[in-house]
Amino acid sequence: MSDRDLEARFGAGNYAPLPVTIVRGDGVHLWDDQGRRYIDMMGAYSAVSFGHCHPRLIEALAAQARRLDTISRAYFSDRLGPFLARACELTGMDAALPMNSGAEAVETALKAARKWAYKVKGVAADRAEIIACEGNFHGRTITITGFSSVAQYRDGFGPFAPGFRLVPFADTAALEAAITPDTAAFLVEPVQGEAGIIVPPKGYLAEAARICREHNVLLIADEVQSGLGRTGKLLACEHEGVIPDGLTLGKALGGGLLPVSMFLARHEVMDVFKPGDHGSTFGGNPIAAAVGLAALDTLVEERLSERAAQTGTHLLQRLRGINNPLIREVRGIGLFAGVELDPARANAGAVVRRLIDVGVLTKDTHRNTIRFAPPLIISESEVDWAIDRFAEVIDATMSASPEPITESSS
Ligand SMILES: *Cc1c(COP(=O)(O)O)cnc(C)c1O
């Protein structure tokens, strides 16, 4: 059987990969099993901000793997402290709790918020509520999908944990109205990624932060995807001058090499955790810490936030410059862009497939949107190459079907 057949035969059917088998990566490029080269405009859902197989990160991984592997948190390691300190220094947070996946970092944030509500705010036992946004994506655990507004993510997985409420994204009046004396936290993505790269209007996060402060509600920013330079600042919160009470990081934090995530917070929040309250066998292991620290150092030394701001402006200009009626909207900030296609005229998934044939890898997401989140090291000329191919594919799609489709189609 081919590699693909083996994956299909022995894997669970929870993914439907695009028809390409990747065997090698270097910087912004990937190669398939036929030796064809692609430009990676998806960046593994923003997890490879540094480019594939960054030499410095590979070296940090290999050197640490030769020296010391996993020891669990039963003992101190010489790697964890420096990693957590650097993360706090860069984000302005007081303390950090390392986990592995983004979903685990969010779960940690939810546990911290609830315990803070009981121990600090004085909410009665088991009454704490957390407000999240419609269209949110915070991961795939049962608790988290329990407050997803995507029907498929919930379907068949109930019953769900109580204590969550949804408000429309970018609606501060709805947020304020949803707050009760039992509200522990407001959990929000500063830019909604999976929902289709939804950038809220200017001022939204700052106003949400003000409302949270006024009502003694924690503002928890999920920056698993928007953080670490993706939007042109180290944290997307910085665009609004907001310092959240809690923060989740993941994806790019592992340099594209390992799952590394963390929850960071002010002392008042993090101090609710006592030994035994929470943990993770692999969270903060020496290899993860070494890679995470190298990733943070690389981000700063290679000025990747600044580069993302500059190259991202170019990317958005190029995308907005494509004049084609199939395109309904171009949204984005930094190197984090979404192109929404008119569903009556084109299917984002079909366009993504055609892009593979011309050497551009990306992926569609909700709202018939094609995402562009390349490694932050991408150059303007590489952006140009990819967007030229995209414009050609969009034009060809338009000529093939110039009239809007009236019947429902997939
Ligand atoms: C991807 C993502 C997560 C979940 O991360 P995993 O590592 O897949 O568990 C959480 N929050 C946001 C905003 C994300 O984009």
- CA separation for the pair 269, 116 (Å, rounded): 6
Could you report the per-residue pLDDT of 230-283, keeping only the tens digit for each? Answer: 999 999 999 999 999 999 999 999 999 999 999 999 999 999 999 999 999 999
3-state helix, strand, coil in the chain (%, to 5): 40, 15, 45
Q: For residue 248, give the ligand 1 atom closest to its CA.
A: 11
Specify whether 253 is located in the same domain as 164: yes
Q: How confident is the model at residue 29 (pLDDT cuts 50, 70, 90)?
A: very high
Which atom of ligand 1 approaches the CA of 103 most closely? 9
pLDDT (tens digit per residue) in 153-162: 999 999 999 9
Same domain, 60 and 158: yes
Q: What CA–CA distance (Å, rounded) separates 307 from 311? A: 6
Q: Is it the case that residue 383 has pLDDT exceeding 90? A: yes
Tell me the pLDDT band of 409, cut-offs 50, 70 and 90: very low
Residues 304-326: tens digit of each pLDDT: 999 999 999 999 999 999 999 99
Same domain assignment for residues 146 and 251: yes
User: Does any domain span residue 42?
Assistant: yes
Number of domains in the chain: 2
Assigned token pair, 87:
């993360």
Q: Is the CB of 43 under 6 A from ligand 1?
A: no
Torsional sign, CA 31, 32, 37, 38: negative
- Tens digits of residue pLDDT in 319-346: 999 999 999 999 999 999 999 999 999 9
395 C-alpha to ligand 1 centroid (Å): 33
CATH number where 366 lies? 3.90.1150.10
CA–CA distance, 353 with 293 (Å, rounded to integer): 36
Active site residues: 137, 222, 251
Which strand (E) or helix (H) includes residue 338?
Answer: strand 337-341
User: Residue 379 has what pLDDT?
Assistant: 98
> At residue 410, does pLDDT exceed 70?
no
Nearest of 305, 370, 361 to residue 331 by alpha carbon: 370
Q: Cα dihedral angle (40, 46, 49, 54), rounded to 10 degrees?
A: -70
Cα 305 to Cα 161: distance, rounded to the nearest angstrom: 37
CA–chain centroid gap for 236, Å, is: 11
Cα–Cα distance for residue pair 248/235, rounded to 1 Å: 10
Residue nearest to atom 11 of ligand 1 (CA): 138
Give a yes or no: residue 13 inside a domain. yes
d(CA 405, CA 387): 25
Rounded mean pLDDT, 120-139: 98
Give the distance (Å) from ligand 1 centre to CA of residue 148: 13
Position 140 confidence tier, pLDDT thresholds 50, 70, 90:
very high
Burial class (CB in 10 A: 0-12, 13-18, 19+), 374: buried
Condensed to tens digits (0 to 9), the pLDDT of residues 350-379 reads 999 999 999 999 999 999 999 999 999 999
In a domain, 402, yes or no: no
Helices then strands, each counted (H, E), the chain = 14, 15
* Ligand 1 pocket mutation, candidates 42, 224, 249, criterion most atoms within 8 A of CB: 224
Is residue 42 domain-shared with residue 70, that is, in the same domain?
no
Asked whether residue 223 falls in the same domain as residue 253, the answer is yes
In contact, 96 and 264? CB cutoff 8 Å: yes
Average pLDDT, the chain: 96
Residues in the chain: 410
What does the pLDDT read at residue 402?
77
pLDDT of residue 400: 84
Q: Are residues 350 and 228 in the same domain?
A: no
Q: Is 345 in the pocket of ligand 1 (CB under 6 A)?
A: no
pTM attached to this predicted model: 0.97
For β-strands 360-361 and 37-40, DSSP reports them as parallel
pLDDT value at residue 403: 78
**Domain that residue 374 falls in:** 3-53+303-397
Please check whether residues 374 and 254 belong to one and the same domain: no
Q: Which residues contact 224 (CB under 8 A, 6 or more apart)?
A: 102, 105, 106, 138, 139, 248, 249, 250, 251, 261
Q: Which pLDDT score is estimated for 405?
A: 63
CA gap 164, 287 in Å, rounded: 35
Flag whether pLDDT at 408 surpasses 70: no
Residue 224 Cα to ligand 1 middle (Å): 6
In this predicted structure, what is the pLDDT of residue 406?
Answer: 57
Distance CA 130, CA 345 (A): 39
Domain match, 203 and 289 both:
yes
User: In terms of domains, do 120 and 144 share one?
Assistant: yes
| CA gap 191, 223 in Å, rounded | 8
Nearest atom in ligand 1 to the alpha carbon of residue 193 is 15
